[in-house]
Amino acid sequence: RESEEAINQLKQKRQRIKLNRNSGREYVNRLGKVVGARIIGPPCHCPLKCWERMGSKILEIFNNFWDLSDFNLQNSYLFTCLKLCDVKRRYTKKPAEESRRQNTFEYFVRISGKHLRVCKRAFMSSHGLTSDKRLRTLFHQMKDGALVPEPDRRGKHLRPVKSPNQMSPNHNVETYNTHKIKKPRTTKKKPNKLENKQMYTPPPPPMGHIHPHCTPPPPPAHATTMQEPPHAYIPNGDIYFPGHYLEPHQSMAPPHVNQIPSCQKMLEAPAYFMAGMKENTFHQ
């Protein structure tokens, strides 16, 4: 019951706002803003002298228009005061078909049962219209060949939900055509600049500063099989110590530390650290 009363009060409030707006009186809109009442606009200063010809009838025209208190009735009244005419004089060299102005509109007011032609400014001021949007809507309807103005459709674009019995058999097909299924967007992988880019490889270290006796000796000329001891390789470079190539009857033990050159000791210190500690000659 409370909800129904609240709805009724809201409807009454909206109807009251609508009535005051269509009557040209002051009202408070739904946002709480005070909208002033309609008043007669400023006079015109055209060669037709519309304001002087209307005289004291301006207030009567204004009151008769807003006393209708209905948007559709007011549009019907304005529709009878407008006239669609052809363009009498053109000032451009373009053909008439290419011109944007294809028609001219004339404005009339009713005074003592007669229509008096006035300018647009005098027509809007005498009726208390601040914008010509209402007139332009009627002009478009006249261009389309309407004999009477169309009823107001504001707030009536929503349709109630129909039951399954009221729906047409092609409802699903129409819904599919109007609301097509959109394909999901595929996210494209951005190309990585580092994938195709060649990495920098540093050049090999120069070996010219090494002493000549540190270079590997040439292999012997005989064709006997040679044995390569595992301690002959240095992890940090392809450097060999003397006696690398051994005969089958020779020993596999590493050479004495005193037989290793000083420059080779510096390069091969990790490999011969244990050998130097055993012989106690690493400091020499």
DSSP strand E in 162-252: where?
none
Indicate yes or no: pTM above 0.85.
Answer: no
pLDDT value for 284:
44
Cα–Cα distance for residue pair 132/124, rounded to 1 Å: 8
- In terms of domains, do 2 and 62 share one? no
| H/E run at residue 18 | helix 2-23
Instruction: Based on the fold, state whether residues 2 and 73 are members of the same structural domain.
Output: no
Q: How far apart are CA 126 and CA 63, in angstroms?
A: 10
Confidence at residue 244, expressed as pLDDT on a 0 to 100 scale: 47
Spans of the chain, pLDDT less than 50: 173, 229-246, 265, 272-273, 278, 280-284
Looking at the structure, do residues 84 and 64 belong to the same domain, yes or no?
A: yes
User: Can you tell me whether residue 111 is helix, strand or coil?
Assistant: strand
pLDDT of residue 239: 47
φ, ψ of residue 267 in degrees (nearest 5): -75, -30
Please tell me the distance from the alpha carbon of residue 177 to that of residue 160, in angstroms, as a whole number: 21
Three-class secondary structure of residue 182 per DSSP = coil
Which residue shows structure tokens 């494209």? 188
Residue 215 lies in a domain: no
Identify whether 145 is part of a domain.
Answer: yes
Question: Are residue 107 and residue 117 in the same domain, yes or no?
Answer: yes
Question: Could you read off the pLDDT of 237-265 as tens digits, one per residue?
Answer: 444 444 444 455 555 555 555 555 555 54
Q: Is residue 144 part of a domain?
A: yes
Q: What is the pLDDT of residue 125?
A: 93
In a shared domain, residues 31 and 52 = no
Tokens standing for residue 173: 């097909």
Range of the domain at 246: 227-284
Tell me: do 18 and 84 sit in the same domain: no
Query: Would 125 be classed as within a structural domain?
Result: yes
pLDDT for 264 equals: 52
Residues 84 and 113 in one domain: yes
25 within domain boundaries:
yes
- Domain presence at residue 196: no
> Same domain for 20 and 47?
no
